[in-house]
Chains A and B, each alone.
Chain A
Amino acid sequence: MTLMQRLFEPRSIRTMAPGTKVIVYGILFFWTAFVLFPIYWVFITSFKTASDVNAGPVFLPFVDFQPSLHAWKELFVFDYKDTLRAYANSLIIALSATAASVLIGSMAAYALARFEYKPKFGVVLMFVLMMIAVFVAVGRFGVDWRISTAVGVAVFVFLARALGRHFKASLSNGDILFWMISQRILAPIVVVVPIYLMFQQVRLLDTHLAIILTYTVVNLPIVIWLMYDFFRSIPYDLEESAQLDGATRLTVFWDIVLPLSRTGLAATTLLVMILAWNEYLLALFLSTSKAQTMPILVAAMNAGERGILWWSMSVVIIVMIIPVIILAIILQRYISKGLLLGAVKG
C-alpha cells in the first residue's frame, strides 16, 4: 500500500480517508473564516475610536487597542432619536409588510391550488386596452386622473359583465400563477418612479403605509410561489370533511390549512422578512426623513465632511443584523426545506 493510497482511500463507506479529511476540513474552515471575518471586523470596528481606525489595522480588543463605547453612546444616547426612529420604522415596516404579503399571498396561493379559475382572454385584453385608454386620456388630453380612472374602471366592469360570456378563449390557473410569479423578474427600478409619482399624487410619500404597500407587492410572488407548492402537498380530505361539517372556506383556510403548513409559512415568513428588512432601493425613493428605514440610515453614514464614520456605521450594521441572525438561527431548518420545495417543483 503506497502512502497516497493510505491517505486518500477510505477504510469504510461511512468514513473518510485522513488525506481527504484534511482537505475537506481545511476548505470548510477556510470558508468559515472567510464568512466570519467581515462580521468580526465590523464588530470590533464598532468599539474603535477614530484614531484606532486611522492608525492602521488593529485586530484584538484589549490587546491591540482599548475598546471604547463612544460610537454606541453617540448613536444611542446623544443621537438616539434618529437611530431609534429608523429602527422602529424598519421594525414596523418589515413586520407589517411581511404579515400582509404572507397573508395575501397565501390566500392567493390557496385559491390557485384549490379553485379553478377561467378568466376570459378577451376580458383581460379589454382590461389592458382600457388601461391604455386611461393613460392616453390623462397624458394626452389632460383629463384629471381620478375622473378618468373611475370612468375607465366603470366602463370596464360594465363591458366585462355585458360581453364577458361571449368570449371563448380562456386562461387557466397555471397562467395566473405564472403571471403572478413572473412579477419577480421585474426589477424594482422599472416600477419605482411611477410608484413614487403615484404616492406623491395621493400625498403618501414618506409614510409607513406607502413603503409597506410597496414591499407587500414586491414580495407577493415569492410567497405565492412557495406557498402554492405547500398547499398542493396538503391532502384535500381533511378540508372536505370539515366542509361537510359546515365549516366555511375561510374557516377551513384559517383553522386547518394554515396550521398544517407551518413549515412552509415559517420559511416564507423568514425569507420575506429578511428581504423587507434589508431592502434599499425602494426605501431610497419612498422615504426622505419620517419613514426612513435602517438601510437608508446606514447608507447615510457616508455623508458629511468627516468622510465615512466607520465606527458609527459598524454600530448600525451590528444592531441591524442581530435580530435577523437570531431569528434565522431559530428558523434555519425550515428555510432550506421551504426553499427546496419551491425549487424542485419550479
Chain B
Amino acid sequence: MTDNTKRPGATRAVPSKGRREWFADWLDRHSSQIFIWPAVIMILVFSIFPLVASFIMALSRFRLRGGSYQVRFVWFQNFEKQIFGSEQFHFLGTFKGMGLLGWIVALLVTGVVVWWIVRYLRTSFTVIGFVGRLFTWGLVLGVGWLMAATFFSGHPFGTLGTTLFYVFFGCGIQFIIGIGLAFLCSLPIRGRSFFRVVFFIPLMITPIGVGYAFRMIADTTKGPFSPAWQWFGLGDFSWASDPWAARFFIMIGDSWQWIPFIFVVMLAALESVPRDYVEAAQVDGASSWDIFRDITWPQVVPVAATVFLIRVIEAFKIVDLPNIMTSGGPGIATESMTLHALFAWRSLDLGQSSAVAYLLLFVTVVTCVSFFNLVVLRRIRS
C-alpha cells in the first residue's frame, strides 16, 4: 500500500535525538500503515482465510478412519446433494407436483420478473448493472418457484424456506411494529424517556435467555397462560409439535428481541426531523397521518432503509432461538440454515456443513447487495 496524507504533513520543529525520539519519529512517519494494518491483518486471518478454507472444505468429503480423518476432493458433489440429491428435502423441501395455487404463484412470480427485466432494459443498461440484476432475478425466480412447489402446493419446505420466512416475514413485522412504536413515542406524550428505556431492554438480553423465557411462557401446561389455553380447550395442544405454531413462536421471540433495535434508531431519526415543518403542517390542519406520510416519512426513509438492511443481515444468522426453543423440530420445520450447518457439523459431516454455510452466504450476499443497490442507495441519493 502506498499512501500520502491528505494534507501535507507538518515538518517537525524539534530535531530528533536519541533512540526514543528516533523511534517516535519512525512511528509517526509510518503512522498511516500502523493505524490500518492491525485491522487488515485480523480480518485477513480470521475472516478471509477461513472463508477460502471453508469453500475448499465445501468441495471435499471428510471421512473418519480409525482416529484420523481422510479428506477427498469431490468438486461440487456436496452442493449437488443439497440441491438435487438425498438432502434435497432437508434444504429445499419436498416436491410432489404443483397444486393449482402453486402454479398461480409460480406464474405470478415469473410475470413479475419478466416485467422487471423488460422495464430495466427499456430504461437503462450497463453491463455491471445487468450482471448484478441477473443474480437478483435468478434468486427471486428460484425462490418464487421453490415456494410455489413446496409451500403453496401444501408440501413441507426445507431450511432455505424456513430461513427466508424468518428473515422476510419476521423482519417485515418487526419493521412495522418498531416504526409504529417509534412514531407513537415521538408524539407529545408524557414519560417518553421511561418508554424509551423499557422498550430498549429486550435487545440486551442474551438470545439464549429469550429462547428459554419464551419456551417457558408458551408452555401450555405450566406456563403463565396455561389457564387460558385450557379454557380454550387447547390444554393438550403442544405448539412445539405443530410446524406453523412453532415457527410463529420462534418469530415472536425473535421480534420481541429485535423490535427495540428498529424502535431506538427510528425514534432518534423521527426526533431529528425539524419541528417547524411538522408544526406548519399542523397549523394548516393536516392530520397526523398526513403529516407522517408526507413530511416525516420522506425525511426518515434513508435511515429506515439502512436499518432494515442491518436487520436483514443479522436475521440471516438466526440460530439461537430455534436451537433453544425447538431444536429445529418438529422434524425440520423450524431449522434455520445456520442450525442445519451446525447439525451437519455435529455429525462430523464437515463437507455438507460448509456447503450449507456457503449456500447461506450466497443467498445472504445476493439479497443484501440487491437490497443495498436497488433500495438503500436510491433512497440515500434521492
Any chain B CB within 8 A of the CB of A243? yes
Distance A164 CA – B283 CA, assembled complex (angstroms): 65
Binds A, one of B79-87, B120-128, B147-155, B211-219: B211-219
A32 touches B3 (CB 8 A): no
- Evaluate whether A45 and B46 lie within 8 angstroms (CB atoms) in the complex, with A240-B10, A328-B200 already known: no
Best-buried of A27, A41, A189, A194 by chain B (most CB within 10 Å): A189
Any chain A CB within 8 A of the CB of B368? yes
When distances are taken between beta carbons in the complex, the residues of chain A under 8 Å from B197 are: 329, 332
A187 touches B42 (CB 8 A): no
A34 touches B42 (CB 8 A): no
When distances are taken between beta carbons in the complex, the residues of chain B under 8 Å from A313 are: 212
B50 touches A198 (CB 8 A): yes
User: A248: shortest Cβ distance to chain B, in Å?
Assistant: 4
B196 touches A332 (CB 8 A): yes
For residue A298, which residue of chain B has the nearest CB? B208
User: A262: shortest Cβ distance to chain B, in Å?
Assistant: 18
B43 touches A180 (CB 8 A): yes
Best-buried of B50, B310, B338, B354 by chain A (most CB within 10 Å): B50
User: A335: shortest Cβ distance to chain B, in Å?
Assistant: 7
Within 8 A of B (CB), among A19-71: 20, 24-25, 27-28, 31-32, 34-39, 41-42, 45, 53-54, 56-57, 59
Which listed residue, A31, A245, A321, A343, touches B204 by the CB 8 Å rule? A321
Distance A294 CA – B46 CA, assembled complex (angstroms): 23
When distances are taken between beta carbons in the complex, the residues of chain B under 8 Å from A258 are: none
User: A303: shortest Cβ distance to chain B, in Å?
Assistant: 12
- Evaluate whether A278 and B54 lie within 8 angstroms (CB atoms) in the complex, with A111-B35, A191-B47, A339-B268 already known: no
User: A115: shortest Cβ distance to chain B, in Å?
Assistant: 4
User: B312: shortest Cβ distance to chain A, in Å?
Assistant: 10
User: B359: shortest Cβ distance to chain A, in Å?
Assistant: 10
A139 touches B56 (CB 8 A): yes
B31 touches A337 (CB 8 A): no
- Evaluate whether A135 and B53 lie within 8 angstroms (CB atoms) in the complex, with A246-B14, A294-B206 already known: yes
B36 touches A187 (CB 8 A): no
Summed over the interface, the residue pairs from A and B with CB atoms below 8 Å come to a total of 313
Within 8 A of A (CB), among B355-372: 357-358, 360-361, 364-365, 368
Distance A198 CA – B50 CA, assembled complex (angstroms): 9
The 6 closest A-B pairs by CB, nearest first: A108-B39, A111-B35, A194-B50, A249-B31, A191-B50, A194-B53
| Interface residue ranges, B against A (CB under 8 Å) | 1-7, 9-10, 12-14, 24-25, 27-28, 31-32, 34-36, 38-40, 42-43, 45-54, 56-57, 60, 71, 73, 181, 184-185, 187-189, 195-210, 212-217, 221-227, 256, 260, 264-265, 267-269, 272, 279, 282-283, 288, 302-303, 306-307, 310, 313, 316-317, 319-320, 323-324, 337-338, 341-342, 345, 350, 353-354, 357-358, 360-361, 364-365, 368, 376, 380
- Ordered by A's residue number, 22 sampled pairs between the chains whose C-beta atoms are within 8 Å are A13-B279, A35-B201, A38-B210, A38-B256, A42-B213, A54-B222, A107-B39, A115-B32, A116-B6, A118-B3, A131-B48, A131-B52, A185-B361, A194-B50, A195-B46, A250-B27, A298-B209, A299-B208, A308-B215, A317-B209, A343-B265, A343-B307
